[in-house]
Copies of this chain bind each other. A is one copy, B any other.
């Protein structure tokens, strides 16, 4: 199972909306004869790859897989049928598939076919590996990470708005890697206007994450005013602009003339946006937004993890941008301690990653 978990991890950030899955096949003598992992949605499932590699040697053997084999026709045929056809006699799984189309029925089919089923092997690790997928299936929203870079005195820009660069090159590269492991990166209109960001992984994954702008009124450069934004150039990465019903017609048209896809939400709110992104297959999103949208995302349970990059410099500035707008706290006890922290160094900077307790336990 350790090997199967390793195989699964190879595709981190590339399987959404599907989970990460790894599988190995042992022959009747217990010799490893096949390995596979799910590399991308629409591609072969892990079990199928491992069984194909094993060929006839799978007969009478064991399949070890990190997730219950599926039993439904999706973009690929059911894995349960392939497992039966290969003559496997024993299946070891880490966890059941919470997808309502599977949910134990895959294992039931295999059991009916006479196989021995061993469940619950290294389940915690398997659940941790697929925390984003499990969160999305359980809540209907992708797992949210809120990331920011600030000075040691908690500022994300100078009073005049200058923000490039607070952190050093190592931290900026870490952000590119972080983006390569998520399905979408979200900012608000304010960040587009103030920072004109590129928001890509700089080629660290074959298809860049979706860049999403949440903008109530579409008050955006080149849309509501002159100017341009790096995000409108979709040769680099896809961009989606989500807005509310209040967005003016002429701005919608301006956006379409730029060739940027629009998504009209019932309400221009983080929660609505994440539900729409989950329906589009996102398991994990990264919030890289300004203080007001960040506070709204936190308040609406859209942040399961925070990642703070802290640079060893002092910026000051009474009016300088801060990390978060109003959270509505009246007493110190209302601010829970964030848990499960991981502290790292990125050149001169620190990065502190912590679970946010609004996270819905999958």
Contact (Cβ within 8 A) B335 A315: yes
Q: Which residues of A in the span 318-335 have a Cβ within 8 Å of any Cβ on B?
A: 318, 322-332, 335
Pairwise interchain contact A338-B153, C-beta atoms closer than 8 A: no
Partner of A312, one of B159, B314, B338, B350: B338
| B interface footprint on A317-357 (CB within 8 Å = 1, 0 otherwise) | 11000111111111110011111010100001010101010
Per the bound structure, the CA–CA distance linking A310 and B328 in Å amounts to 21
Contact A312 B337 (CB under 8 A): yes
Residues on B with C-beta less than 8 A from A327 are 314-317
Report the nearest B residue to A336, measured CB to CB. Answer: B313
A166 within 8 A of B: yes
Tell whether A165 is near chain B: CB-to-CB under 8 Å.
yes
A interface residues, how many (CB within 8 angstroms)? 51
A230 CB, min distance to chain B CBs, angstroms? 19
Contact A350 B352 (CB under 8 A): yes
Q: Complex Cα distance A153/B162, Å?
A: 19
Q: Does A225 contact B (CB under 8 A)?
A: no
9 new A-B contacts, CB < 8 A, other than A152-B352, A162-B330, are A153-B308, A153-B324, A159-B329, A163-B332, A310-B352, A312-B337, A313-B337, A316-B326, A341-B348
Query: CA separation between A15 and B354, bound complex, in Å?
Result: 43
Instruction: Look across to chain B and name the residue whose beta carbon is closest to the beta carbon of A329.
Output: B158
* Chain B residues with CB below 8 A from A153, complex form: 150, 154, 308, 322-324
**A154-B155, A326-B317 known; A343-B350 Cβ under 8 A:** yes
Taking CB atoms, residues of chain B closer than 8 Å to A314 are: 298, 306, 324, 327, 335, 338, 356
Check B152 against A326 for contact (C-beta < 8 Å): no
Q: In the docked arrangement, what's the CA distance between A101 and B291, Å?
A: 57
A153 and B150 CA atoms in complex are apart in Å by: 8
A160 to chain B: which residues have CB within 8 Å? Answer: 330
- Rounded to whole angstroms, the CA-CA distance of A350 and B339 in the bound complex is 13
A341 to B310, CA, bound (A): 13
- Central interface residue in A298, A314, A330, by most chain B CB within 10 Å: A314
